[in-house]
Structure 1
Amino acid sequence: MDSIVRQSSKLCPFVKRAASSPTFVHSLQDRGGISTQLVGKCPVMHKVIREYASTSSVSKSAEAVPEKEKDIISPVENSSSAEKSFDYYGLFEDELLAKKRDKSYRFFNNINRLAKNFPMAHRKLEEDKVTVWCSNDYLALSKQPEVIAKMKLVLDKYGAGSGGTRNIAGHNKHTLQLESEIASLHKKEASLVFSSCFVANDAVISLLGSKLKDLIIFSDELNHASMIVGIKHAYKTKHIFKHNNLEDLEKMLQMYPKNQPKLIAFESVYSMNGSVSDISKICDLAEKYGALTFLDEVHSVGLYGPHGAGVAEHFDFDTHLVNGVNKPSNGVKTVMDRVDMITGTLGKSFGTVGGYVAGSGQLIDWIRSYAPGFIFTTTLPPSVMAGASEAIKYSKTHINLRTSQQLHTQYVKDELARIGVPVLPNPSHIVPVLIGNPDLAKQASDLLMDKHKIYVQAINFPTVARGTERLRITPTPGHNIELCDILIAAIDDVFNELNLPRVKDWEAQGGFMGIGTTNNTERLWTDEQLKLTNADLNKNVHASAVDEIVYSSGVSI
Structure 2
Amino acid sequence: MNSKACPFLNKFSMSSIRQYAPLFLSYVERCPVMMQSFSRQSTVSGDNAAPNLATEAEVQKCPFLTQVNVTVTEASQAVQEDTIGQQLLQLQPQEEKQPEKENPSPKFFNYEAFFAKQLQKKKEEHTYRVFKKVLRDASSFPHAFEHSTGKEKDITVWCSNDYLGMSWHPKVKEAVSEALWKHGAGSGGTRNISGNSPLHEQLERELAKLHHKEAGLVFTSCYVANDTTLFTLGKHLPGMHFFSDAGNHASMIQGIRTSMAQKHVFRHNDPDHLEEMLKKVDPNVPKVVAFETVHSMDGTICPTVEMCDVAHKYGALTFVDEVHAVGLYGDHGAGVGEQDDCLDKMDIISGTLGKAFGNMGGYIVGSAKLVDMIRSYGSGFIFTTSLPPTVLNGCLASIKVLASDEGRELRARQKRNVKYLREKLVSAGLPASHSPSHIIPIMVGDAEACTKLSNDLILKYGIYVQSINYPTVAKGTERLRVAPTPHHTKEMMDTFVDCLAELWKDSGLTLYGQVCPDSCECCNRELNIQDMFKREPVCLRTNCTYASLQAALA
Distance between the aligned counterparts of 1:120 and 1:418, measured in 2? 26
Deviation at 1:519, TM superposition (A): 4.9
Unaligned runs of 5+ in 2: 1-102, 519-526, 545-554
Determine which structure has more spread, i.e. the larger CA radius of gyration: 2
Task: Tell me if structure 1 keeps the 8 A contact 2:514–2:532.
Answer: no
Residue identity matched to 1:395: L
Matched, 1:290 2:315: yes
For 2:289 and 2:357, the matched residues in 1 are separated by 26
Using the alignment, how far apart are the partners of 1:520 and 1:506 within structure 2?
15
Alpha-carbon distance in 2 for matches of 1:281, 1:506? 26
Contact 1:428 1:523 in 2 (8 A): no
Decide whether the 8 Å contact of 2:432 with 2:515 is kept in 1: no
C-alpha separation in 1, matches of 2:447 and 2:531: 20
Show the counterpart of 2:174: 149
Equivalence map 1:500-519=2 (5 Å): 500-504=509-513, 518-519=538-539
Give the residue type in structure 1 aligned to 2:348.
Answer: M
The 5 A counterparts of 1:425-440 are 425-440=434-449
After the TM superposition, which segments of 4 or more aligned residues of structure 1 sit over 2 Å from their partners?
A: 80-83, 503-507, 509-524
Aligned to 1:135: 160
Structure 2 CA distance, aligned partners of 1:253 and 1:350?
Answer: 35
Q: What secondary structure, in the 3-state scheme, does the structure 2 residue paired with 1:131 have? A: strand
Aligned residues with identical type, % of pairs: 45
Alignment of 1:92-131 (within 5 A): 92-124=115-147, 127-131=152-156
Does the Cα contact within 8 Å between 2:119 and 2:128 map onto a contact in 1? yes
The reply to whether residue 492 of structure 1 matches residue 501 of structure 2 is yes
1:226 maps to 251
Q: Which amino acid aligns with 2:117?
A: D
Q: Report the counterpart of residue 477 of structure 1 in structure 2.
A: 486
Establish whether residue 410 from structure 1 lines up as the match of residue 410 from structure 2.
no
What residue number does 1:189 align with? 214
Contact 2:195 2:385 in 1 (8 A): no
Q: Which amino acid aligns with 1:455?
A: Y
Q: 1:513 to 1:82 in 2, by over 3 A?
A: farther
Offset, 1:101? 0.9
Q: What is the 5 A alignment of 1:416-427?
A: 416-427=425-436
Deviation at 1:503, TM superposition (A): 2.2
Question: In the TM superposition, what are the counterparts of 1:359-438 in structure 2 within 5 Å?
Answer: 359-397=366-404, 398-438=407-447
Describe the shift of the 1:180–1:451 C-alpha distance in structure 2 as closer, same or farther (beyond 3 A): same
Q: What is the match of residue 551 of structure 1?
A: none
For these two proteins, the number of residue pairs brought into alignment is 427
Shift in alpha-carbon separation, 1:102–1:170, aligned structure 2, 3 A: closer
Give 1:347 shift: 0.4
User: Could you list the per-position Cα deviations for residues 489-523 of structure 1 after superposition, in whole angstroms to 9, with x for gaps in the alignment?
Assistant: 1111111111211224889x997799879456798
Q: 1:271 to 1:500 in 2, by over 3 A?
A: same
CA RMSD of aligned residues (A): 2.3
Per the alignment, residue 21 of structure 1 pairs with: none
Q: Structure 2-normalised TM-score?
A: 0.74
- For the 8 Å contact 2:454–2:466, the answer to whether it is kept is yes
The 2-side partners of 1:260 and 1:286 are apart by 13
Aligned in 2, Cα 1:504/1:159: closer, same or farther, shift over 3 Å?
A: closer
State the shift of 1:442 in Å: 0.6
Normalised by the length of structure 1, the TM-score is 0.74
Structure 2 counterparts to residues 436-475 of structure 1, below 5 A: 436-475=445-484
Match of 1:207 among 218, 221, 232: 232
Task: Judge conservation of contact 2:226–2:255 (CA < 8 Å) in 1.
Answer: yes
SS in 1 for 2:207: helix
Aligned to 1:338: 345
Question: 1 or 2 for the larger relative contact order (CA 8 Å, sep ≥6)?
Answer: 1
CA distance in 2, matches of 1:414, 1:94: 44
Name the CA distance, whole Å, in 2 between partners of 1:523 and 1:106. 36
The 3 A distance-change label for structure 1 pair 399 and 439 is same
Deviation per CA, 1:74-101: give whole Å up to 9, x if none. xxxxxx8892221111111111111111
- Distance in 1, matches of 2:531 and 2:157, equals 27
> Following TM superposition, by how much is the alpha carbon of 1:166 offset from its aligned partner in structure 2, in angstroms?
1.0
Deviations 1:21-78 (A, max 9, x none): xxxxxxxxxxxxxxxxxxxxxxxxxxxxxxxxxxxxxxxxxxxxxxxxxxxxxxxxxx
Q: 1:521 to 1:110 in 2, by over 3 A?
A: farther
The structure-2 alpha-carbon separation of the partners of 1:93 and 1:287, relative to structure 1 and needing over 3 Å to count, comes to same
Write the deviation string for residues 279-313 of structure 1: whole angstroms up to 9, x where unpaired.
11111111111101000000010110011100111
